Amino acid sequence: MKKLLSVMLATAIMMTMLIGCADEKQSSGGGESDSKELTIAFSFEDLETEFWVAAHEIITDTLKKEGYKVIELNCQGDANKQLEQVNDALTQEIDGIIMIPVDGDTAVTVTAAANESDVPIVVFNRPPTSDEGNNITVVCDNATTAEATVDYMVEQAKAKYEKTSKKLTPCILVGDLGDPNAIERKNGFYAAIEKEAGIFNDVIEVPTEWDAATALANLQSAVQANPDIDFIFSSSDFLFPTIQSVVEPLGKWQKIGDENHIILGGLDGDATAGKLIDEGYVDGTGVQDLFFETEEALKAIVEAAQNGETDPDEVIKDPGFALTQGNLEEKRMDMWGNAVGAEQ
Amino acid sequence: MKITSLAFKRIQGGYNMGVFRTKTQKKKKSVRQILQGAFLSEYFILYLTIVCFVCVIPFVPKIITRSNLLNVMSNLWPLLVVAVGQTFVLLLGGIDLSQVSIIGVTSVLGTVLMSNSFNEDIFASTPLWGWLIGPEGGPMADSAAAIPVCILAMLLIGTLIGIFNGFFVAQYKMPPFMVTLVTQMFYLNFAIFLTQSRNVMGLPDGFKQLGKGYIGGIIPYAAILALLITMIGYFILDRLVLGKWIYATGANETASLVSGVPTKKVTVFCYAFSGFCAAAGSAIYSARLNMGRPTLGEDLTMDIVGAAVLGGTSLLGGKGKVCLWNLP
């Protein structure tokens, strides 16, 4: 009986696989483009942050609307799976790949696989760690954007120091250092801090690995060991709720103007950051121009596929900008998070 | 002489009876019985996989293209290697959760030895910097013997971790789940600690060939390694007394002990072999990705145990075998 049950379960699993193999009806035709149907594989890491969710939505919707067939590949943060999925896609006669790599090293490996198969590849938002292989990389100038944001935070810190004569204790939530974006953001942070080193104590680095649970545990430990932390830069906006959950019980989640306010900044420009800036909890955030990046990525891959370019090699830089309490009126709707929020 | 003759007659009679019985059974077998036999066969998964594969062909003809088949198999070779090791532990009625961390730790340790260069800005903060690795690479950088030596080092480390697991399970009767969970957590974090979560790049081209290269453009190197380990596993279980001991220990450890089976040594062997296989799988995974990665096997637990169980190995121990259809 047990064996029969096991057999039935196994059959059910196999049947599910079989059904899963059925080709999903793709949106084709009805598009605005007259060109032949191109098949684009879109490999992404996960959809954990608002930035990735929005990027995924814009890329897939635009491609489908234009009449292209999209093969979506979610590797759930696993580099090995990302390589396997892209290799699978390469056997399906695809015309191009857009990839959000797990990290910069994986971008190098997957680029090599695409180059071997003569398929053009666009690396979106997370650049490869080396220039081996040919790809089109669309990436924000993370160091400059982070520096501009932290410059504004340092201005606020200076004003506070002049008022209290007490040095501030800065803290940075560092992303996964396998990701060049995380390194660049960290460099931008230090470049700004070093301009006014005299008003700060030693910087406290909190590793997050781009994971909210890891960030929570490490930030809790850091705040316990250093209760004076009053200046936090988060390398990604998606960690603001994590910061709130750690500092709120300590009475430090306060609006600008309150003496317990922690000078707070981030980078990405998502809707949560936009809301927190509006409410006065966050001083500023670096904004990646998501619309510019997705548009450039789509344009690049479609052009390469239509022109038969198999190994285009180019870096497209998104200059980014800092949205702060100082320029909020002027630049509020330039931030993709606010624009998406308003649309919804 | 009489006895021999009698014995011969009995054997002959038995043989005849056997033939007779077989013939009788064959006559009586209905379609239902044949179907039932197929469904309850230990090769059921294999039959089902073939049926599934054939059914999909008309809908997705690309599935039988050479490139797709090679790609699918290349994704599965390292998993097969690791699952063979897991099968040995499952046959004991145990489980080896530490295989995933063995993959990570051996991936890092093996590749740092052979890497040709390390970026000082990234690796200077790692505990390996200065005494084991430097800007000019690891200790085996640019050495002709780097690849075999480093792979052997990976296999040795994996086996030692397996022996450690097996020792505590066998000697102290600790639950395998707990022992291997602890080693999994420890070695996973140890691997991250060693490189501070950084990936190891700059590996020799020859190592890359292990993951992507072909002999004569047809047979992948990874396939040869995977099939070799599968055959070793099959040989141990099917041809050696050790194999019988493993089944016996998994089916009833007390009875095996009473019967003279060295159950402790058998247990340690199975965990050691599991660690060995995990390290071999790690070599293939690392070569495919062309990097050493501390979190390499992190998400593979279900794939590994699933492959072994779907291949017919019982989680309760004492039942199962090493075969190629662990793969699906």
Do A86 and A223 lie in a common domain?
no
The band of A309, judged by pLDDT with boundaries at 50, 70 and 90, is: very high
CA distance A8 to A11: 5
Q: Is residue A12, in this structure, part of any structural domain at all?
A: no
Do B231 and B297 lie in a common domain?
yes
pLDDT in tens, B269-314: 999 999 999 999 999 999 999 999 998 988 899 999 999 988 888 8
Q: Is residue B4, in this structure, part of any structural domain at all?
A: no
The answer for residues whose C-beta is within 8 angstroms of residue B298's C-beta and 6 or more apart is A78, B100, B104, B188
Q: For residue A107, what is the nearest residue in chain B, using CA coordinates? A: B289
CATH number at residue A110: 3.40.50.2300
CA distance A77 to A89: 18
Do A123 and A102 lie in a common domain?
yes
Count of A–B CB contacts within 8 Å?
Answer: 82
How confident is the model at residue A183, as a pLDDT? 87
CA distance A111 to A129: 11
Do B145 and B35 lie in a common domain?
no
Range of weakest confidence among A2-11, A49-58, B65-74: A2-11
Q: Is residue B19, in this structure, part of any structural domain at all?
A: no
CA distance A50 to A269: 9
Is the CB of A87 less than 8 angstroms away from the CB of B75?
A: yes
Do B225 and B184 lie in a common domain?
yes
Do B55 and B80 lie in a common domain?
no
Determine which helix (DSSP H) or strand (DSSP E) holds A83, and give its type and residue range. Answer: helix A79-90
How confident is the model at residue A31, as a pLDDT? 43
Do B49 and B143 lie in a common domain?
no
Who has greater pLDDT, B122 or A122?
Answer: A122
The band of A257, judged by pLDDT with boundaries at 50, 70 and 90, is: very high
Of the CA atoms within 13 Å of residue A260, those in its CB half-sphere come to: 9
Q: In this predicted complex, what is the ipTM?
A: 0.79
Do B128 and B161 lie in a common domain?
yes
CB B237 within 8 A of CB B246: yes
Do A225 and A118 lie in a common domain?
no
Domain residue limits at B50: 31-64
CB B328 within 8 A of CB B98: no
Judged against a pLDDT cut of 90, whether residue B29 lies above it is answered with: no
Quote the tokens at residue A235: 């390398």
Is the CB of B293 less than 8 angstroms away from the CB of A7?
A: no
Do A102 and A136 lie in a common domain?
yes
SS3 B260: coil
Do B173 and B195 lie in a common domain?
yes
**Section A302-325 average pLDDT:** 94
The band of B61, judged by pLDDT with boundaries at 50, 70 and 90, is: confident
- Whether residue B143 lies within 8 A of chain A, CB to CB, comes out as no
Q: Is residue B38, in this structure, part of any structural domain at all?
A: yes
Do A135 and A244 lie in a common domain?
no
CA distance A30 to A22: 23
CA distance A169 to A162: 15
Last residue of a domain, one of B64, B85, B108: B64
Q: For residue A4, what is the nearest residue in chain B, using CA coordinates? A: B40
Q: Is residue B22, in this structure, part of any structural domain at all?
A: no
Do B144 and B291 lie in a common domain?
yes
Judged against a pLDDT cut of 90, whether residue B127 lies above it is answered with: yes
Do B41 and B158 lie in a common domain?
no
Do A109 and A149 lie in a common domain?
no
How confident is the model at residue A27, as a pLDDT? 42
Q: Where are the alpha helices (DSSP H) in B173-314?
A: 176-195, 205-212, 221-239, 241-251, 253-258, 263-289, 301-310
Q: Is residue B141, in this structure, part of any structural domain at all?
A: yes
Q: Is residue B82, in this structure, part of any structural domain at all?
A: yes
Count how many domains chain A has.
2
CA distance B119 to B136: 9
Do A150 and A177 lie in a common domain?
yes
pLDDT in tens, B178-213: 999 999 999 999 998 999 888 999 999 999 999 888
CB A193 within 8 A of CB A200: yes
**Shortest CA gap B268–chain A (Å):** 30
A30 sits in the region (left: phi over 0; alpha: psi -120 to 50; else beta) called: left
Q: Is residue A6, in this structure, part of any structural domain at all?
A: no
For residue B199, which of B122, B299, B284 has the smallest C-alpha distance?
B122
Domain residue limits at A159: 142-288+323-343
Do A259 and A297 lie in a common domain?
no
Tokens 């055959």, located at residue: B231
How confident is the model at residue A264, as a pLDDT? 97
Do B254 and B168 lie in a common domain?
yes
Do A136 and A220 lie in a common domain?
no
Do A207 and A124 lie in a common domain?
no
Task: Give the residues across from A174 on adjacent strands.
Answer: A207
Bridge pairing between strands B214-215 and B219-220: antiparallel
CA distance B188 to B104: 6
**Section A60-82 average pLDDT:** 92
**Section A219-243 average pLDDT:** 95
Count how many domains chain B has.
2
Residue of B43, B46, B51, B52 to mutate, interface with A, max A Cβ within 10 Å: B52
CA distance A122 to A114: 10
CB A208 within 8 A of CB A214: yes
How confident is the model at residue A1, as a pLDDT? 58
Do A186 and A294 lie in a common domain?
no
Do A315 and A328 lie in a common domain?
no
CB A297 within 8 A of CB A124: yes
